[in-house]
Amino acid sequence: MDEAFLDLEAIEVELDEEVLDAIDEKAFADHRDNRDAAVRDLLDEWLKQRAADDGDESS
């Protein structure tokens, strides 16, 4: 994996309506309507799942 992006201060992503709805639902349910916290939480879940999937492929 190319980790050059880790030195970036900011990134820009484009999300579709379905993903934005999921973020808003998580923000409301788990983070007192804090959308930033919900995004960080969902990103953390995605990264952990990706790491687990990468581990499965190497076996």
Per-residue model confidence (pLDDT) at position 48: 93
CATH number at residue 13: 1.10.1220
What pLDDT sits at residue 16? 94
The CA R_g of the chain, rounded to the nearest whole Å, is 14
Cα 27 from Cα 41, distance rounded (Å): 9
Beta strands in 2-59 (DSSP E): none
Instruction: Determine the pLDDT at residue 5.
Output: 63
**Is the residue at 1 inside a domain?**
no
Q: What is the pLDDT along the chain (59 residues), one digit of tens a residue?
A: 566 666 778 878 898 999 899 889 988 999 899 999 998 898 899 889 989 998 876 55
pTM, two decimal places: 0.63
Kindly state whether residue 42 falls inside one of the protein's structural domains.
yes
Question: Domain residues for 20?
Answer: 6-57
